[in-house]
Structure 1
């Protein structure tokens, strides 16, 4: 029994009959409308999100590449430190590092009492710290004494440092 005003469910045969009764122009319009609905659904559900994602990555990739390029030297230095970590520090190795840092004229190192004694004479502060801090980050080297003071004119834009540093290799000393 059907409620007044409601039509009974349409069967597949009934739909085919209605389709056949439509004029060719009406069928073409319905097919075109169905194709437009499918195209709009594909656009909204598939293509538009892909295009948004592509635009996002076009902006993001150059930034990520720049970060990668900036971090590459740090990663190489860290890898070299890992490889050198297996090697124990030596007096000759420290001398090579001092020379490579351009501090050979103002930083003298010698072995006394099984420890490395460094004498610092008027070294630019930034150059000294750029060499010393990564060195002290090596767990194989122990800082035992640090006596530094600023030298030269206090109004100088770049500070210069003089003093003494005493270090030793953990787990024994190496000449």
Structure 2
């Protein structure tokens, strides 16, 4: 191969080198430069869309965090809920040792359950103990209950008894 190369005229060697450089250049263009340009063009179109999505998601996240902070259950909110449902006459709330103890005395069962079920669905108030029994005349149309309800505050655990 080397003898053949030396046997070529200078002009032929120059043309072969030029052709070789053109082929290498075209190969680099097609195999490296053009894909880079396509990728650059693609990301120039995608980045504004992704930035807009990021801003929208940040807005949603901050809204969700504000709602979560506003929805946290505390003793004052629990008392307000009891008063709004008309159960504050029947339930005494004691806030001690990181939990709420509610003493129920002769409360209407339907009103108590209508208030209690949504409250217990909130993970901020896990049920730890529930002891209720029917009180009053068994022939009454509206059942009345008495007993105790113990709920944890925050992420406290505990099962139901």
Q: Which residue does 1:109 correspond to in 2?
A: 93
Aligned residues: 91
RMSD of aligned residue pairs (Cα, Å):
1.8
TM-score norm. by structure 1 comes to: 0.49
Rounded Cα–Cα distance in structure 1 between residues aligned with 2:129 and 2:155 = 18
Q: Which residue does 1:79 correspond to in 2?
A: none
Q: Which residues of structure 1 form unaligned runs of 5+? A: 1-81
Q: Which residue does 2:154 correspond to in 1?
A: 170
Compared CA separation, residues 91 and 84, structure 1 to 2 (3 A): farther
Q: Which residues of structure 2 form unaligned runs of 5+? A: 1-64, 157-161
Which of residues 75, 81, 84 in structure 2 aligns to 1:91? Answer: 75
Runs of 4+, deviation exceeding 4 Å: none
**Deviation digits for residues 126-161 of structure 1 (CA, Å, limit 9, x no counterpart):** 000000000001122100000000000111111000
Rounded Cα–Cα distance in structure 1 between residues aligned with 2:66 and 2:85 = 20
TM-score norm. by structure 2 comes to: 0.53
- Partner SS for 1:145: strand
Matching of residues 14-53 of structure 1 within 5 Å: none
Residue 132 in structure 1 maps to residue 105 in structure 2: no
